Amino acid sequence: MATSNWQHIPYCVELFRKFEPKSILDIGVGFGRWGILAREFLDVWYGRSTPEQWKLRVDGIEAFEPLISDYHYTFYNRIHIGDAFDVLPKMGEFDLVILGDVLEHFSPDRAMLVLQRCKIIGKLVLLAIPLGEDWHQDETDGNPYERHLSFWTEDQLTTPDLCQKKIFQDFSERPFGVFLYHGSSMPPKMAKSKDATKLRKEPGFAAKELYGYLSRHPRRTKLLYNLLKILHKWSP
């Protein structure tokens, strides 16, 4: 289906308004929910009612081209057709990358690479994803990308670069979660937020930040390692 759960929509809209991204990449456009909502609450809400007035940049990636109609291009600046795994390496930077019910459609290894790539190009990454194994899904409506190829737990997705999360239940009481990560650089609005301040006060935050930074910059990790070896050699 080109749609998904609705219970988390108000929470995600609040995140849009809280961090006010100027550019968004929506991975797995589908019906276009996130592009339309972002356009409404980050442009129209502020009095920019007509397309000529809009300032927000909204790009999308969609693997199944038949889902894309003319109306999508009213709300999206550009939509890239293709598998996100192949398209992401060609993308530039965004203030916010949205993975709305997408990661479970990749195998576990490819899913982690997709998520990591999103954290490289996105200052913030918003992940909405079903949790647990009660989410089996096969190809639907002739779309082979609808298959669920991986299953996830809250613990797996609670990584050091996590800013905040919230767990929801769908209409049949199955759990799914929304996870907000900071990526290549924490934007100024995020850095000044109460959530970021609270995170910094937590024990071990600096170590977690260093771990997240080094995991995103493997070449610098090697450089730091070699530098530490030299310092250790010179130390008395």
Taking the domains of the chain in order of start, what are their residue ranges? 9-187, 202-236
pLDDT of residue 117: 92
The pTM for the full model equals 0.74
> Is 170 in a helix, a strand, or coil?
coil
**Residue 114 and residue 102: Cα distance in Å, rounded?**
10
pLDDT of residue 219: 62
Tokens of 116: 């990591």
Beta bridge pairs of residue 230: none
Per-residue pLDDT tens digits for 174-201: 888 999 998 865 544 444 455 444 444 4
**CA geometry: angle 124, 126, 128, nearest 5 deg:** 170
**Residue 142 and residue 15: Cα distance in Å, rounded?**
34
Low-confidence residues of the chain: pLDDT under 50: 1, 187-192, 195-206, 208
How many Cα atoms are found within 13 Å in the side-chain-facing hemisphere of 82? 10
Q: Count the residues in the chain.
A: 236
Count other C-beta atoms under 10 Å from residue 144's C-beta.
11
pLDDT of residue 65: 86
Beta bridge pairs of residue 207: none
pLDDT of residue 6: 81
| Fold adopted by 9-187 | Rossmann fold (3.40.50)
Task: Please name the residue that has the structure tokens 């082979």.
Answer: 144
Tokens of 168: 């929801």
Adjacency order of strands within the sheet including 23-27:
78-81, 57-62, 23-27, 94-100, 122-130, 175-182, 162-169
pLDDT of residue 176: 87
